[in-house]
């Protein structure tokens, strides 16, 4: 790992300008990581560009300099791809983005395809944010609010406020150190966990009214149709937080949320508490993720997706 850090440092020092890219359906770990590392690179005197490939969730718009995340204007020299398991996570413009002269891939998903020129991938880490913290520490950049707030947000969000089993003693020590430099920790908590909108609440109501439980499988499934999403005027980030919500229901090891993205296409988000490795389930549909949190996309309608998932689940 030290050798990889040194290789990354060498590339940073050599680079004319540095770009960092978000991914489709960006989450707190992705946005927090690119903003935090971007701030650290600026402190090193680098010209930094942060590239937008999808809309930023409303609850992350409080982060420092988030307004500087913009579409790509020129071919990147040195490109950091953070929290993306494969090139497809960079969206429709991935081919142009990946024409960068050199790519550094930093991620904590075990399904990462190692597409970078340098690949810093560690599935034992709680979050990409935690890996970025370690890199910044290696680079010797002093923390400040502009670095600490987004990285703390990244780690906090991807560990479910430090509840998930991926949270290690080291994770907590790093988070505590970051908090020393965060100007407003209340703002982080409020935006991550206390900012559910009326539309997001209506989404959860519909999902709860359509829950299907499979007690013999310790499985519970929630779903929402494209018609319901359009009727509510829901945006892509208005379904964030649904699967963790239903995963809190007692008596089920696995919770799955199905969202009809378009006709014949269903997005799957899966969580487990203790037993099932949901990444294996999602890999059966060319998805992936972590043992306790994973996702995939299935062709078909909602009922067909449920049938396919249950069949695959029984094979685990």
Which is more confidently placed, 168 or 74? 168
In angstroms, the Cα distances linking 281 to 239, 276, 284, 291 are: 21, 9, 6, 10
pLDDT of residue 64: 98
Q: Tell me, which fold does domain 2-193 have in CATH?
A: inorganic pyrophosphatase (n-terminal core) (3.90.1640)
Q: What is the mean pLDDT of residues 231-255?
A: 95
pLDDT of residue 147: 99
pLDDT of residue 167: 97
pLDDT tens per residue, range 217-242:
999 999 999 999 999 999 988 998 99
Domain with CATH 3.10.310.30 in the chain: 198-314
φ/ψ region of 287 (left if φ > 0, alpha if ψ in -120 to 50, else beta) reads beta
Confidence of residue 201 (pLDDT cuts 50, 70, 90): very high
Is 16's pLDDT higher than 90?
no
pLDDT of residue 30: 98
In angstroms, the Cα distances linking 88 to 93, 94, 179, 245, 285 are: 9, 7, 34, 28, 15
Domain with CATH 3.90.1640.10 in the chain: 2-193
As a whole-number percent, the residues of the chain with pLDDT over 70 amount to 100
pLDDT of residue 94: 86
The mean pLDDT of the chain is: 96
pLDDT of residue 19: 97
Cβ contact 86:17 at 8 Å: no
Is 180's pLDDT higher than 90?
yes
Q: Tell me, which fold does domain 198-314 have in CATH?
A: Diaminopimelate Epimerase; Chain A, domain 1 (3.10.310)
Is 171's pLDDT higher than 90?
yes
pLDDT of residue 117: 98
Q: What is the mean pLDDT of residues 285-306?
A: 95
Q: What is the mean pLDDT of residues 45-67?
A: 96
| Model confidence, pTM | 0.92
pLDDT tens per residue, range 79-114:
999 999 999 999 988 888 999 999 999 999 999 999
């Amino acid at each position: 790992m030290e050798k990889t850090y040194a290789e990354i440092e060498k590339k940073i020092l050599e680079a004319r300008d540095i770009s960092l890219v978000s991914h489709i359906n960006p989450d707190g770990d992705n946005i927090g990581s690119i903003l935090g590392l971007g701030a650290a690179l600026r402190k090193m005197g680098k010209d930094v560009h942060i590239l937008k490939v999808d809309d930023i969730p409303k609850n992350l718009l409080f982060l420092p300099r988030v307004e500087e995340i913009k579409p790509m204007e020129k071919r990147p020299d040195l490109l950091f791809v953070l929290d993306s398991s494969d090139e497809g996570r960079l969206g429709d413009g991935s081919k142009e983005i990946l024409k960068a002269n050199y790519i550094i891939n930093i991620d904590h998903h075990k399904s990462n395809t190692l597409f970078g020129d340098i690949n810093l991938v560690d599935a034992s880490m709680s979050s990409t944010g935690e890996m970025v913290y370690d890199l910044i520490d290696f680079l010797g950049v002093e923390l400040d609010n502009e670095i600490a707030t987004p990285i703390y947000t990244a780690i906090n969000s991807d560990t479910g406020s430090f509840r998930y089993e991926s949270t290690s003693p080291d994770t907590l020590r790093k988070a505590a150190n970051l908090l020393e430099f965060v100007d407003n920790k209340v703002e982080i908590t409020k935006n991550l966990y206390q900012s559910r909108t009326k539309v997001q609440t209506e989404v959860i109501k519909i999902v709860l009214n359509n829950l299907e439980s499979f007690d013999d499988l310790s499985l519970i499934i929630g779903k929402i149709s494209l018609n319901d999403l359009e009727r509510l005027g829901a945006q892509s980030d208005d379904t964030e937080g649904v699967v963790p919500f239903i995963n809190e229901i007692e008596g089920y090891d696995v919770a799955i949320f199905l969202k009809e993205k378009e006709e014949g296409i269903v997005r799957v988000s899966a969580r487990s508490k203790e037993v099932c490795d949901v990444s294996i389930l999602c890999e059966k549909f060319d998805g992936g993720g972590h043992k306790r949190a994973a996702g995939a996309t299935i062709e078909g309608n909602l009922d067909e997706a449920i049938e396919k998932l249950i069949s695959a689940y029984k094979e685990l």
